[in-house]
Amino acid sequence: MKKRGNLGFVLVLGMALLLTACPAWSQNAHPQNLPQKAHSDADGLALTPPMGWYPWNIFGEEPQTEKLIKEIVDALVTSGLKDAGYAYVGPDEGICFSRGPDGKLTSNLTRYPSGLRGLGDYIHGKGLKYALYTDAGSKTCSTAMPGTKGYEFEDMRAFAEWRADYIKIDWCNSEGQDIVKTYTLLGEAQRAAGRPVVHSLCSWGEGYPWQWAGAIGHMWRTTSDICGPGKADWARAVRIAFANEKLSAFAGPGRWNDPDMMVVGMPGLSEVQNRSLFSLWCMMASPLIAGNDLRDMTRPTIDILTNLEAIAVDQDPLGAQGHVVWNDGNVSFWAGKPLFDGSRAVLVFYQGGHKFQQRIAWDEVGFGAADELYVRNLWTHETTGPHAGGVNVSVGSDDVAFLRISKKNEFPIPPILVADTYLVSLRAAGSRPEKLTGTVTVANKGSSDLPPWRVDPKSLPPWLSVAVTGSGKSQTFVNTVSTAGLKKGPYHVLVRADNVEPISGRPMSALYYDVDLEVVRNVRR
Q: Which residues bind ligand GLA (CB under 6 A)?
A: 56, 92-93, 140-142, 170, 202, 204, 225
Annotated catalytic residue, options 170, 316, 341, 398? 170
In order of 39, 108, 427, 433, 515, the CA distances from 523 in angstroms are 41, 37, 12, 6, 19
Q: Phi/psi of residue 419, each to 5°?
A: -110, 150
CB of 468 to ligand GLA, least distance (A): 38
Taking the least distance from each CB to ligand GLA, the nearer of 221 and 255 is 221
Query: Minimal CA–CA distance to 232: which of 198, 276, 188?
Result: 276
CB of 365 to ligand GLA, least distance (A): 34
Rg (the chain; Cα; Å): 23
CB of 329 to ligand GLA, least distance (A): 29
> Do the strands 390-395 and 356-361 form a parallel or antiparallel pair, or are they unpaired?
antiparallel
- Count the helices and strands in the chain (H runs, E runs): 11, 25
Taking the least distance from each CB to ligand GLA, the nearer of 53 and 204 is 204
Q: By the 8 A CB rule, do 91 and 83 touch?
A: no
Taking the least distance from each CB to ligand GLA, the nearer of 6 and 143 is 143
Torsion angle of alpha carbons 110, 111, 115, 116, nearest 10°? -150
Our measurement of the distance from residue 159's CA atom to the centroid of its chain's CA atoms, rounded to an integer in Å, reads 19
Give the whole-angstrom CA distance, residue 72 versus residue 69: 5
Give the whole-angstrom CA distance, residue 280 versus residue 265: 15
Annotated catalytic residue, options 135, 225, 316, 341? 225
Taking the least distance from each CB to ligand GLA, the nearer of 93 and 293 is 93
165 catalytic per annotation = no
225 catalytic per annotation = yes
Q: Phi/psi of residue 213, each to 5°?
A: -75, -15
Local structure of 211: helix, strand or coil: helix
Fill in the DSSP letter of residue 353. Answer: S
CB of 204 to ligand GLA, least distance (A): 6
Taking the least distance from each CB to ligand GLA, the nearer of 224 and 479 is 224
CB of 132 to ligand GLA, least distance (A): 11
Instruction: Give bridge partners of residue 255 from the DSSP assignment.
Output: 252
User: How many other CB atoms are found less than 10 A from the CB of residue 281?
Assistant: 27
Taking the least distance from each CB to ligand GLA, the nearer of 51 and 517 is 51
CB of 218 to ligand GLA, least distance (A): 16
Active site residues: 170, 225
